[in-house]
Amino acid sequence: MSDTDQTDGKPEAAFAGEKPSDIEIVADESVVDAKPGTASGATVDAFDVLRDELRTVKERAARAQADFDNARKRLRKEADESGTRAVIRFVRPILDQLDNFGRALTAANPEAFAEFAQGVSMIHANLASALAQAGIEPVAAEGVFDPAVHEVIAEVERADQPKGTIVEVFRQGYRLKDQLVRAAQVVVAKPPA
């Protein structure tokens, strides 16, 4: 017969008739040896494992957040660059027309064609203003030749200018933000032969 059969399932009945001094208390030695306020060795090991796992999870979360931030920045930059490329494709044909207006103004005799010249001049100014509002800026085409923004179409002998100095701009260059839309076509000086 088991203890529960003898006690009718009541724990108090199991100790019926025994004096408190007759009851032997058996405890786990690791718990008994532990000082108050400290954890047992097994508990400390489990705590260390949990702390390491928490640190790992926090590191992974920080890396994931950094990856997300980098992806967002990259997408924003790619969108800006894509917009810039679209504007450049749109603007290139307009720039040729702007050049044609400039040439027409240069070739026209302002005295004979005063009204014509004034009209073309206004169109030229309006186009240049519209491009400036879109962020299109002319490339400086003075001084020393810069292969990053200038294209040499001819060299002329000039004793009064150092070699590589721009002496004439054939076609104006333009940029949008930090991207070159079109290089300036220039004529540069070379020493006389």
User: Is the per-residue pLDDT at 122 higher than 60?
Assistant: yes
- Which residues fall within 8 angstroms of residue 169, CB to CB, at 6 or more apart? 141, 184, 185, 186, 187
pLDDT at residue 6, as a whole number: 52
Q: Is the pLDDT of residue 145 over 90?
A: yes
pTM, rounded to two decimals: 0.50
Distance between CA atoms of 27 and 34, rounded to whole angstroms? 12
How far is it, in rounded angstroms, from Cα 76 to Cα 42? 51
Residue 31 has pLDDT above 50, yes or no: no
Domain residue ranges of the chain, discontinuous segments joined by +: 138-193
**Is domain 138-193 given the CATH code 2.60.40.10 in the classification?**
no
